[in-house]
Amino acid sequence: MTPTQLRAFAAVVRHGSVKRAAAELKVSESAVSLNIGQLRKELGDQLFTRTSAGLAFTPGGLRLASRSAELLGLQDRTILEVSQAGRGRRLLRVAGSSLFAEHAAPGLLELFGARAADLDIELSVRDPAQFETLLLTRAVDIAIGSLPGGLDPALVARPVMNHQIVLVTGPGHPLATGHTSLSRLREQTWLLGPSAASSLGAVPAMLRRLAVSEDRQQIFQSHTAAIEEAKRDRGVAPVLSFTVAQDLTERRLVRVSSAAAPIDGQWHTIRLNAATPAADELSRFAATPRAIQAMVRGTGVTVGRFRPSIHVTLWS
């Protein structure tokens, strides 16, 4: 068995489809089928068959499904550990939801990274719906953000920080005074950050509950950009309350009075049961008063302490 064959099989198991597995791996369907065929020949097992309801896995296929994740994870971990040992450094890969990554991660990771001179921290912005797959495939070491439902037993979640989402607009906007009905609120232009594109979290839940149509939603590349547009009276923005406290005090923004908000949310750390020591330590540290204070304060990050992964999104 080769890692390429196991990755192809693991992708088929995750998606229940050769076509979707090929799309994830960025290879052709024939390449995935070839790898599956080689596994079938070597193991003497059909592994799965196609039915009208989807793929039906044999007992051997189910056993290989669990083992393939373990084997691939062990390979990735070994490669990482050898690389780190050669450089004399450790790498902690953190996946964060967009709200957490933009507003809270800098302060937390700067404070945590200062505790260990040999630790590099890599942060990537991910949809919380992807957290489970990222952790089980060991693509990241720890995830922080909204908690997906029905976590795999191999994962451990720990509550980190409660937060509140409020609605704001500019002082010259029609909704800046008086109580606003839900129907009137629904018809406003909504100024949104990347978190609105996720399926999980307080902001997407609010949009679904209010049934805000897509043509009323403007999604910006950052939540800060959405807030700046709200200051210009161009719409309503759902924001983390602690990020706009100063703007509210100085009347650059005004809270919208409505039954829709405020709403409460909570961030969790999620990691494997057998997580790396650094991931386990960050999970414990993130819930401490010092860490929460750093997240709210939003301390900047020292060059060299934190290396963000870059993900480019084109909005049409």
Cβ proximity of 144 and 271 under 8 Å: no
CATH topology of domain 83-161+265-308: D-Maltodextrin-Binding Protein; domain 2 (3.40.190)
Using only C-alpha atoms, the chain has a radius of gyration, in whole angstroms, of 23
Tens digits of pLDDT across the chain (316 residues):
888 998 898 888 888 888 988 998 889 999 999 999 999 999 998 888 887 777 788 888 888 887 887 788 777 767 776 776 666 677 889 999 989 999 999 999 999 988 887 888 889 888 898 899 889 888 899 999 988 888 888 899 999 999 999 999 999 999 998 899 999 999 999 999 888 888 888 888 899 999 999 899 998 888 989 999 999 999 999 999 999 999 999 999 999 999 988 989 899 999 998 888 899 999 999 999 999 999 988 644 433 334 444 333 333 3
pLDDT at res. 297: 83
pLDDT at res. 105: 92
Show the tokens assigned to 66.
């669990």
Show the tokens assigned to 305.
């302490």
For residue 42, the number of C-alpha atoms closer than 13 Å in the C-beta half-sphere is: 12
Query: What is the CATH architecture of 163-264?
Result: 3-Layer(aba) Sandwich (3.40)
pLDDT at res. 73: 74
**Cα angle value 199/201/204 (rounded, 5°):** 55
pLDDT at res. 289: 93
Which CATH code of 3.90.550.60, 1.10.10.10, 2.40.110.10, 2.60.40.10 fits the domain covering 3-71?
1.10.10.10
Cα–Cα distance measured from residue 199 to residue 208, given in angstroms and rounded to the nearest whole number:
10
pLDDT at res. 303: 35
Cα–Cα distance measured from residue 58 to residue 290, given in angstroms and rounded to the nearest whole number:
51
This prediction has a pTM of: 0.67
β-strand pairing of 179-180 with 257-258: parallel
Residues facing 124 on adjacent strands = 95
Check for a shared fold between 83-161+265-308 and 163-264: yes
Domain extents in the chain: 3-71, 83-161+265-308, 163-264
